[in-house]
Structures are given as C-alpha cells and as structure tokens.
Amino acid sequence: MRGRRALVVFAAVITTSLITVGLQAIRAADSAGHADLSVYLGAFVVGMWLPIAMVLYALVRHRIAVVLLAFCVGVSVNVIFVAHAVPANAATTNTSDFYMSGLNGNTFGCTGVKDMYQTGPADSANGSVYSGGAGVSQTFCSDIFSSAQSLSAGTTVANMYFANSSGTKDCNVMGELFWFHASNSTTTSLGSGTTTIPHNNAAAIDFTWSWATSAVAAFADGDRLEYTLTFTSAWSNCSSTAYDAYYVGFASRITVATIVPETVAGLLLLAPALPLATYWWKRRRP
C-alpha cells in the first residue's frame, strides 16, 4: 500500500510537470508569433496528453518505468517543438541547417569571409566555385546569435559538392565548426572532420561526412557560428579539386546539432538521468 501511495504521488508530480512544460512551450511559441495551428495541436497531443495517458496506464499497471518514460517523451517533444517554433529574439533562427553562399559578408557583416545562412539555398547568381590547393581554405559565417540561444553537443553533418579532375591524385578536405566570440573576435573550435575527394571525378558530386561537435552552453549577444573548409593535402594533390557552394540547384550546407533557447536547454539533461532514477526506485522497493 505504501508503494502504491508513493507511485500515485510521484505520478501526480510528473503529470503536473508535463502540463507546466507543455503550457510553457506553447506560451513561448505564441509569444514569438508562431501561428501554425497544426503544429500547436501536434505538440499539445504528443507532448502533453499522450504522456499523461501513459502516466494513467502506469498507475493502473503499477509501472514506475512507464511514468519516467512518459516524462522523457513529454519533455523531449516540447524541447523539439520550441527549438523549431521559437526564434529566440535573435537574427539566427533555431533551425540547424546552414547553407553556404558566394556572398562575401555582404549580408551579415562578416569581415573577409563568406555568408552562411539558414533561410534556404542560395540562388545560382550567388553561388561560387572555390579552387583547391595545399592549405587553401574558405570560411563561412552565420548571422548573429543572442544570449537566449545555445547549441547542443552532437554531430555536425556536411553535404558539399566537389569535383576532382586529376587522373591520379586524391584530395583530402577538412570541415571545422567554430564558435566566434563577438566580445574579442576570437574563435573556439567545436570539432572537425575530414573526407577524401577521389581522382577522376570531373563533374561535381555530393560528398557527405560528419564529426562530433561540442556544445555551446550559451551564446553571448552577437556571437556567431563559423565553418571553415580546408584543402589539407600537401603539394599539388588538391590543385585539380574545386568546391561548389551552389551546384545545379543545390546549396552546399552543414547541419549542426539542435539549437535551442537557453531557457529550455537544461531540460535536455533530464533524459540521461531517467534510467538512474528507475534503477534507484527499483532498489528501494521491497
């Protein structure tokens, strides 16, 4: 009986938390001017009422693990909902795709580097082809972030178009993601990854590779993300290799880990704790 009472109390706390998180997510999206009713309805059903139904099932079946799972589902759905619905009062949105452009800082005011933006592929007039060579690099910068945004740790994926007309020499390239600090104009590397562009590849094709990237707990106002593409092979191995920022209707891009408002980023830390909570609960049960 005591275990049953404790489960009821725990379920009540979880239910209250789910309702609170769900309402806060909807309120945040509403204050940002998000008006897609279908998105609201999906978040309301999947992020709130489905987890609550799982809690009720757990009470009937006396399953503490289901209560914890319900909380995990509810929090995760609402974090994803806010990440995609709230612009967080910054020029950059919370979308994770960054498209390469041939514009040399004309839009975002980045000094000496190219634009990298989240509004969709560039038009063909803005596309550029960058020739390779030993140590040659190109840097692209995003619009500014605000202190209300953060970047989760995870994986960055590059989708880039390359051609290598050499008949014998492969070319290695490296993509690296940086956190640009507006306060002192320095950068912090968040991670890098490499791929090889094989020879006898005269027509540009899409190359995809990925690497682990660190988190940014909170950007400062004016901070940016920068992406640097470097031809790393020595001598003339990359002399016949070229990179296309825009090729036949496709804008080369990188996809970073989830960008979320700082106010909800802390909720992501709850999920890893749930298995430990389940283990602790089971150990305490007679």
- Domain extents in the chain: 2-89+264-284, 97-257
- Residue 131 has a CB neighbour count (10 Å cut-off) of 12
Are the CB atoms for 193 and 255 separated by under 8 Å?
no
Q: Which residues pair with 197 in a beta bridge?
A: 171
Are the CB atoms for 278 and 64 separated by under 8 Å?
yes
pLDDT at 32 (0 to 100): 46
The DSSP line for 158-180 is: EEEEEEE--SS--EEEEEEEEEE
pLDDT at 258 (0 to 100): 78
- Residue 11 has a CB neighbour count (10 Å cut-off) of 20
Nearest residue to 170 via CA among 235, 252, 228, 227: 235
Q: What is the DSSP letter of 45?
A: I
With the CA atoms of 244, 90, 150 and 253 taken in that order, what torsion angle do they form, in degrees rounded to the nearest 10?
Answer: -10
> Which residue is listed with tokens 């080369």?
252
CATH of 97-257, one of 3.40.605.10, 1.10.645.10, 2.60.120.260, 2.30.42.10: 2.60.120.260
Residue-level pLDDT, tens digit, the chain, 286 residues: 555 666 666 666 666 665 666 666 555 555 444 445 555 555 555 556 566 666 666 566 656 656 555 555 555 555 555 555 544 444 577 678 898 887 777 778 888 888 888 876 654 455 578 899 999 999 999 988 888 788 888 899 999 999 999 999 999 999 999 999 999 999 999 999 999 999 999 888 999 999 999 999 889 989 999 999 999 999 999 999 999 887 766 778 999 987 765 545 444 444 444 444 444 444 555 5
pTM of the predicted protein model? 0.65
pLDDT at 148 (0 to 100): 76
